[in-house]
Structure 1
Amino acid sequence: MSLADAAAPPPLPTVPATRAGRALSFAARHWWLTLSLLCLVLWTPGVLTLPPLDRDESRFAQSSKQMLETLNFIDIRFGHVPRYKKPAGIYWLQSATTAIAGMGDKTHIWTYRLPSLLGGILAVLLCFWTARAFAIPEVSWLAAALMATSLLLTAESTIATTDAVQLACVMGAIGVLLRVYLAARDANRPQPTTTTVLLGWVALAAGTLVKGPLVLGICAVTIVALIAWDREWRWLKGLKPLYGVPLTLALVAPWAIAISLESHGAFYQQSLGQDFAAKLAGGQESHGAWPGYYLLLVTFTFWPAILFIAPGCGAALRRMGDAPTRFLLAWAGASWLLFELVPTKLPHYVLPAYPALAMLAAHWMLTPRDDAERPWQPILFVLAAVQFALGVVTFAMAPALAPIYVGSGLTWWLIALGAVGAIFGLTALILYLRRSVLLAGAFAVLAILVFYPTITVGAAPRLTELWVSPDAAALIARHTVQGDPPPILAGYTEPSLVFLLGTETRLTDGAGAADNGAFQGGLALIEDAERPAFLARLAELEADAVPVDEMRGLNYSRGKKVHLTLYRVTATHDVTVPPAE
């Protein structure tokens, strides 16, 4: 590519004078309403119907529940153990929504998911706002819709973790950064107001309180990439750091100091010195992978937008002299490279790079085709079609087949819904291959609107072997009598079961379960691997335990079948000292 070609004016997006184009313009005029409704229709079924998931979601929810129980909003604990991995921001949000929406009941998981739902919606709306810094409303709406329907954001917005809220913080900060950059590159653009710039710093502070330095890291690598590319740094003065840095510190410092005093420095030792450093040094908790991991997963995690991502990125290479394109490439490229180089990898880590790709794809969807397309464009065009087709096949078949192996068996109406989604998906593919890109996008959205609720509402409840914790909680509830102490768990101690049973649930091994049971009596749920030690210790203590029920399932966190036996243990007067925690 020559420098003259790179600096050529980019083709301008245009909205076709068709029914689809008019519908898009209508949606873009009412963007906040149409995008919010799209998110709610797609995400709410999963929020309301999925049981508590292991392990991160239930750990977050249980720790938030304990904040409400203790009214200690500084310290973070799971049971009696400190949980010093993430700052307190997400726990505050989950505690607040549960206090407001739970009506006094702290055991409904959906109330802890509301921050993710609202954070995801805010992230989508901020994606529109960010794109409006350089794009027409229709391009901005398409970019936001591609994000809203992406499988990864859809999943993160339906579970009680940090990533949807974190993405909203990223979008708030990066949207301001983009506006400052574009104003410096074009004298005709107005400078962002001081209020707008300071709101970007507020987003950075909020992101720090939700997930530590990640928002700062995304902004930093984007800035470094732009400075290296442009050989220019003075535009950073537009960020007003003399005001922004003190504001950010003022918002973050109170809790940062309080948790340091509360934990005697243990929070920073564990969160930064152990958790964060371990992720940078190696594959933490068996989550290591080679570079390229996210490129392999993007076919599914960014479906259905994947149909437009490769062509959109390829077309962007012809517009690198265009300041908005340069910013988006720096944002997506630098952050993606960062996540690929970090040894610890999980699918959701790369989510903050997705909005930049969505904006590039949306620009391509409304850009007139011309003869200047490079030879690689047809290859990328076909690659995207293949990636999309793989997603159609996977999402059509998985809801019908999964219950056969780990659930209630074949369900014909799930097959029918999968077929409907596949018809929409294949229609999108055919339209795409015929270059009816906008209509292809509409049918791709219809496909995910069928597929995702089919998975969350239709297939998930029928994966009966996976829902060990809800079944175990129901089993214990059936056999609990008035006056029983908190139940004892040995072997199967997943966080979801603790969330369902309560904070005082005792987690131990087989021998410890016998000690606790002999002291307090009550119910003990023992997994087969711990049963010999449990029975042997009971015999030593001359305590009685009667099996009252049993159940089987699949512990998906470990990928192992489990057989659980519920015992009623009779307390013995010979054990008068409670066992150690």
Structure 2
Amino acid sequence: MVGSTDTLKGAANSGIAAGRFQRLMTSPWLLILVVALSFFWQLGAVPLYDLDEGAFTEATREMLASGDFITPHKDGEPRYDKPVLIYWLQAASAELFGFDEFALRLPSAIAATLWIAGLWFFVRRCLDARTATVAGLAMALSLQVSLIAKAAVADAVLNLFIALAFFEIYRYFLDPDPKTNRGFVLRAYLWMGLGFLTKGPVAVFFPLVVSFLFFLSEMGGANGGLRRWFRAVFSPLGWLVFLAVAGPWYLAIYLDDGAGFFRSFFLQHNLGRFDSAMQGHSGFPGYYLVMLPIILLPFSGWFLSLLKDLRRSWSDPLDRFLWIWFLTVLLFFSFSGTQLPHYLLYGCTPLFILMARYRERLTNGWLAFVPPLFLFAILVALPWLLETVVQVALRFDLGLKAHQVAMIGAGRFALDLHYGAAVLAGLVAMLGLMVWSRPALWSRLVLAGIIQTLVVFGVLVPKVFEVMQAPVKEAGLVAKALDMPTVVYRTSMPSFSVYREAVTPNRRPQAGDLVFLRIDKLDRLERDLPDLDRTLVYQRGPVALVMVRAPE
């Protein structure tokens, strides 16, 4: 009898503990702590990376230096790759907090935080607060979202506005009364206008296409029909809001630069990216099916658990809206000439909502934990893999360039005992979470996401950036101290100009110049300048500084 009583008490205590744990895992306070960890921790701890962060931040630096807040420039030349909003945000942050990595990345971290907040309020309205918190946790801890939240580029800002536009579209669908749903329409146009000011047509294209397909799927439903879609799409007041937000800058840059921006941005950097691969970023039709599990780490198996009930989900309007959103982005970019992992993020917000809504369907421990276990196994083996790459490349003459050999070699030594201990501890923790059977699988995966964030941003990223970008930063600081005429030679690493705090033209070197270049270009420099003396001023890892002088 006593044994039975103790057993019942033990079961009751276990149930109480399990309930407390579940309440903790669905607490908004946990979400706030995770956002701080994933988006703000280590925000300014590593140098800017090339090509992207260097290009954006150099344009911001030149904007502040010149006082020209209309036409972005990079190394003295107009930069027509992106519209202006991200430069304005970075410039404002740099003015408030100083021109450094933290300030330049801060707008992205804030935008990602607002993105989470927008998702939380939307899911709480459509479902419940606990599901909203779980969706926010999954999004904040997924690998690609946390990467762009810590990057001084436009992607976190754009994803914020795209997601907000989609949330307003669904709110408009839920409210068929024209007297009360006008605000949803106007706010959707506001977010699309801000997105258009961030990265152009993509911020309008997907909301229009997805909303059309969704309202088409709702033909005959109480809240649906294309008539409502046309009413919103051809809203004069909505387009007036859009033009009031985006129009002034587009008009200003046209008055400053003529049609040059429009030809370059719309034809080359938008239509051109879909038609052909730019900057070597080509792929294949299945590229994003391969990349999606990496983008969602450690939640790849959680996403796969949704697929078995896809047909049943199609009958629910919210599920159908979310799936149409994701599938439209996936199909469109699968057939784009230029393919980059972060493009798919435009369609990943709905996946986090679906994963949270159906979190209890995740019941297969192997499906849940094989992806993060595989990641950590690769991280543990990475020093050996780097050594193997060098040996195989040299043995079979695979054509590794000098700067690549230098980085791989430096990387092998950077991945030291501290790194090995950290990633091995992460692997053991993942195994422990896998065999810990009491909490729900989804909540263990959230803990796995926290471990992934600690290891990736606390250990891996600093090691990688120490090898790849710290030499570029050092070279820039050396060039700044020397205060000589400086040029870039056959190298595209714009963060050098950021750290040098000066425009660095890309032209043929001449006597009296300091030359920044990748080390695989040293032989070419010698062939191009046979009549000039060259003195190696700085060399570390993949880059070098060479002083060019007339022979004495």
Instruction: Say whether the fold is shared (TM-score over 0.5).
Output: yes
Matched to 1:531, the amino acid is L
Preserved CA contact (<8 Å) 1:116 1:156:
yes
The one-letter amino acid of 2:245's match is L
Q: How many Å separate the matches in 2 of 1:157 and 1:293?
A: 23
Residue 367 and residue 183 in structure 1: after superposition, are their counterparts in 2 closer, same or farther (change >3 A)? Answer: farther
Task: Find the aligned partners of 2:155 and 2:49 in 1 and give their Cα distance.
Answer: 15
Contact 2:143–2:296 under 8 Å retained in 1: yes
1:149: which partner in 2? 141
Residue 55 of structure 2 corresponds to 59
Letter of the 1:523 counterpart: L
Contact 2:414 2:463 in 1 (8 A): no
TM-score (norm 1): 0.80
Q: Measure how far apart 1:445 and its partner are.
A: 2.5
| Distance in 2 between residues matched to 1:565 and 1:450, nearest whole Å | 35
For 1:507 and 1:124, how far apart are their aligned partners in 2? 41
The whole-number CA distance in structure 2 between the counterparts of 1:348 and 1:18 is 42
Q: Deviations over 1:243-302 (max 9, x none)?
A: 212111111111111111111111010011112121111222211111111110122211
Structure 1 counterpart SS, 2:488 = strand
Paired with 2:179 and 2:342, the residues of 1 have a C-alpha distance of 34
Equivalent in 309, 326, 331 of residue 337 of structure 1: 331
Distance in 1, Cα, partners of 2:101 & 2:292: 29
**C-alpha deviation, 1:474, in angstroms:** 3.9
Structure 2 CA distance for aligned equivalents of residues 81 and 477 of structure 1 = 21
Q: Which amino acid in the other structure matches residue 305 of structure 2?
A: P
Superposed CA RMSD in Å reads 3.0
Give, in whole Å, the separation in 1 of the partners of 2:502 and 2:477. 17
Confirm or deny that 1:82 pairs with 2:78: yes
- How far the C-alpha of 1:51 sits from its partner, in A, is 0.7
2:514 to 520, 523, 526: 523
2:441 equivalent in structure 1: 437
1:299-353 CA deviation, whole Å, 9 max, x = no partner? 2211012131011233343232111111111111112111112121001000011
How far apart are the structure 2 equivalents of 1:344 and 1:40?
A: 33
Q: Does 2:238 align with 1:234?
A: no
State the partner residue of 1:172: 164
Instruction: Describe the shift of the 1:534–1:468 C-alpha distance in structure 2 as closer, same or farther (beyond 3 A).
Output: farther
Cα deviation for residue 424 of structure 1 reads 2.7
Amino acid aligned to 1:442:
V
Structure 1 match to 2:303: 309
* Contact 1:74/1:259 (8 A) holds in 2: yes
- Given the alignment of the two structures, is residue 135 of structure 1 paired with residue 135 of structure 2, yes or no? no
Q: Is the counterpart of residue 496 in structure 1 residue 476 in structure 2?
A: no
- 1:43 is displaced (CA, Å) by 2.9
Aligned to 1:6: none
Question: CA 1:529/1:568 → structure 2, altered by over 3 Å: closer, same or farther?
Answer: closer
Among candidates 374, 391, 395, match of residue 390 of structure 1: 374
Q: 1:429 to 1:312 in 2, by over 3 A?
A: farther
Query: Is the contact between residue 24 and residue 138 of structure 1 (CA under 8 Å) also seen in structure 2?
Result: no
Structure 1 residues 219 and 399: alpha-carbon distance in aligned structure 2, compared to 1, 3 A threshold: farther
Deviates more, 1:311-320 or 1:332-341: 311-320
Match of 1:372 in 2: none
Superposed displacement of residue 72, structure 1: 1.1
Distance between the aligned counterparts of 1:316 and 1:224, measured in 2? 21
What amino acid is aligned across from residue 415 of structure 1 in structure 2?
G
* Deviation of 1:28 (Å): 4.9
Aligned: 1:487 with 2:482: no
CA distance in 2, matches of 1:507, 1:141: 49
Residue 233 of structure 1: how far off its partner (Å): 1.4
Tell me the distance in 2 between the aligned counterparts of 1:139 and 1:395: 32
Where 1:47 maps in the other structure, the secondary structure is coil
The answer to whether the 8 Å contact 1:180/1:191 transfers is no
1:469 aligns with 2:472: yes
Partner secondary structure for residue 127 of structure 2: coil
Matching of residue 417 in structure 1 with residue 434 in structure 2? no
Q: Which amino acid aligns with 1:235?
A: R
In structure 2, do the counterparts of structure 1 residues 135 and 471 end up closer, same or farther at CA, with 3 Å as the change threshold?
same
CA contact under 8 A between 2:72 and 2:78: conserved in structure 1? yes
Aligned position for 1:323: 317
Evaluate the alpha carbon distance shift between residue 242 and residue 410 of structure 1 in structure 2; reply closer, same or farther with a 3 A threshold.
Answer: closer
| 1:452-482 deviation line (CA, Å, top 9, x unaligned) | 2234565235x4365431232244356x2xx
Q: Name 1:277's counterpart in structure 2.
A: 271
Rounded Cα–Cα distance in structure 2 between residues aligned with 1:469 and 1:220? 42
Amino acid at match of 2:467: T
Q: 1:202 aligns with which of 190, 193, 204?
A: 190
Q: Please name the residue that 1:35 is paired with.
A: 31
What is the identity, as a one-letter code, of the residue corresponding to 2:473?
Answer: P
Aligned partners of 1:18 and 1:240: how far apart in 2?
Answer: 55
Q: How does 1:208-227 map to 2 (within 5 A)?
A: 208-227=196-215
Structure 1 position 401, deviation (Å): 6.7
Quick check: 1:64–1:95 contact (8 Å CA) kept in 2? yes
The question of whether the paired residues in 1 share the 8 Å contact of 2:39 and 2:113 is answered with no
Is 1:569 the counterpart of 2:524 in the alignment? no
Q: Within 2, Cα distance between the matches of 1:70 and 1:547? A: 33
Aligned equivalent of 2:9: none
> For the residues of structure 1 that align with 2:249 and 2:340, how far apart are their CA atoms?
28
Q: Distance in 1 between matches of 2:536 and 2:277?
A: 42
- State the Cα distance separating 1:38 from its structure 2 match: 1.2
User: How many angstroms apart in 1 are the aligned matches of 2:503 and 2:138?
Assistant: 43
Q: 1:393 offset after TM fit, Å?
A: 2.1
Q: Secondary structure at the match of 1:285?
A: coil
**CA 1:275–1:457: 2 relative to 1, 3 Å:** closer
Q: Do the aligned partners of residues 240 and 278 (structure 1) sit closer, same or farther apart at CA in structure 2, a change above 3 Å counting?
A: closer
Aligned-residue identity in percent: 23
1:203-223 CA distance string (max 9 Å, x none): 111111001011212212211
CA-CA distance at 1:149 after TM superposition = 0.5
Q: Supply the distance in 1 between the matched residues of 2:179 and 2:427 (Cα, whole angstroms).
A: 47
Alpha-carbon distance between aligned partners in 2 of 1:386 and 1:395, rounded to the nearest angstrom = 14
Question: Structure 1 residues 35, 247: CA separation in 2 closer, same or farther (over 3 Å shift)?
Answer: same
Instruction: Name the aligned partner's letter for residue 502 of structure 1.
Output: E
Gaps in structure 1 of 5+ consecutive residues: 1-15, 370-377, 539-544, 555-561, 573-581
Task: Give me the whole-angstrom Cα distance separating, in 2, the residues matched to 1:400 and 1:152.
Answer: 25
Following superposition, the deviation at residue 398 of structure 1 comes to: 4.1
Q: Distance in 2 between matches of 1:239 and 1:136?
A: 30
- Cα distance change, pair 500–317 in 1 and its aligned pair in 2 (3 A): same
Residues 529 and 44 (structure 1 numbering): CA distance in 2 closer, same or farther, change over 3 Å? farther
The structural deviation recorded for 1:133 is: 3.2
Letter in 2 for 1:393: A
Partner of 2:464: 460
Q: Distance in 1 between matches of 2:143 and 2:410?
A: 22
SS class of match (1:205):
helix
Q: Distance in 2 between matches of 1:336 and 1:127?
A: 20
Cα deviation for residue 183 of structure 1 reads: 3.2
Structure 1 residue 409 displacement after superposition: 4.2
List per-residue Cα deviations over 1:38-59 (Å, max 9, x = no partner).
1221233442112111101111
* Structure 1 residues 48 and 65: alpha-carbon distance in aligned structure 2, compared to 1, 3 A threshold: same
Asked if 1 retains the 8 angstrom alpha-carbon contact of 2:171 and 2:184, the reply is no
Segments of structure 2 that go 5 or more residues without pairing to the other structure are 1-13, 220-224, 387-406
